[in-house]
Chain A
Amino acid sequence: MATPITGVGGQADQNLEIGAHTFRSRLFVGTGKYQDLAVMREALAASGTDCVTVAVRRLQTGVPEGETLLDYIDTERYRLLPNTAGCFTAKDAIRTAMLGREAGMSDMVKLEVLGDPDTLLPDPVGTVEAAQYLVEEGFTVLCYTSDDPVVARRLEDVGVAAVMPAGAPIGSGQGILNPNNLRIILSRASVPVLIDAGVGCASDVAVAMELGAHGVLLNTGIALAADPVRMARAMKAASEAGRDSFLSGRIPKRLYASASSPTQGLIAGE
């Protein structure tokens, strides 16, 4: 986990390294739910992200030429991170990951094994099982999980490249609901921790980064904002502000006041 950089300078932050992959941006952005692919393209650019998530689904025939999702994603600029969204068993997630790797020719996968269709909370047992299998198959696994520090540790033990605890339920926009557990996960992790899911606005991203998260992954918070491009820009600024704030070594919180102006040299009172 990064420690505050002391001394003069505000020196440049290191890049984010996940497995053998390096990222300049600490924001990972999803490609789902946009009203309009052209807006998505602009929003991705405004976010400054290096990496976008995609889902693996049956090829649809009859889509007009030039109007598929991939026609709107510059794959020279953004790395594709296939997810295993919609999988409720380890077996399905593994199968989807294999398909995603073959389609995208990359070893990265965002692993999700869901336990419940209403909360979209992960199935911890299935997640650990699938993660272990995929790591052994040579995948760089970025693993969606809950904010349970025990599961996070298990996932690290089986070799995931990044642990991705949810801030709040997927798409719920509630922000960081359990900072305490996230702090615990961050204090023990020896792989990058990205807060993934539930982010609703820019300050949620800043809060996540100030906790010490290595990055944030979000989709709905941008895609369904009234102005996705503006929100993407805000999220970019927030991820940088939150990261700088974290690295700056903030002041402690005090119960009582501590004057900012000197108490000596005061002119005589009445």
Chain B
Amino acid sequence: MTHVIQEISINGEKQRVPSPLTVEDLLRHLSIDRRYVAVECNRKLIVKQEYAEAKIEAGDFLEIVTFVGGG
């Protein structure tokens, strides 16, 4: 399989990741456990059931959030 690299933004930082890539691929690539995590791609919430199908394109802005301490 040809490994192409694409540049995307994750949590405000530019990152180079493989292409093609789904959200599921990305979380695996970053060793992120999907439990207690939520993902937005270009300001659109991606629900967990869609991770395997949701494609990430070059230039996409991703927010990957989780729970931290708060009142």
> Which residue numbers of A lie inside 8 Å of B, CB to CB?
30-34, 40, 53-59, 61, 68-70, 80, 82-83, 85, 95, 98-100, 102-104, 170-171, 197, 217-220
Contacts and interface: CB of A to CB of B under 8 A. Distances in A.
B66 to A, nearest CB: 5
B65 A58 contact: yes
Contacts of B37: 59, 103
B48 interface: yes
10 contacts: A30-B70, A31-B69, A55-B67, A56-B65, A59-B65, A99-B38, A100-B38, A102-B47, A170-B71, A197-B71
B45 interface: yes
B67 A102 contact: no
A44 to B, nearest CB: 11
For chain B, the bracket of interface size reads 20 to 34
Contacts of A171: 71
Given A69-B68, A102-B48, 8 more contacts: A53-B70, A54-B69, A55-B67, A99-B38, A102-B39, A103-B65, A171-B71, A217-B71
Interface in B34-54: 36-40, 43, 45, 47-48
B67 A56 contact: yes
Contacts of B5: none
Contact of B64 (A54, A59, A170): A59
Nearest to A217: B71
Q: Which of B11, B37, B40, B70 has the most CB of A within 10 A?
A: B70
A31 B68 CA distance: 8
Secondary structure of the A side of the interface? mixed
B42 to A, nearest CB: 13
Contacts of A103: 36-38, 65-67
A85 B71 contact: yes
B70 to A, nearest CB: 3
A87 B39 CA distance: 18
Given A59-B37, A104-B36, A53 B68 contact: no
A269 to B, nearest CB: 62
A102 B36 CA distance: 8
B63 interface: yes
A219 B11 CA distance: 27
B30 interface: yes
A57 B66 contact: yes
A70 B71 contact: no
Q: Which 6 A-B pairs have CB atoms at the shortest separation, nearest pair first?
A: A55-B70, A219-B71, A30-B71, A54-B67, A102-B38, A103-B38
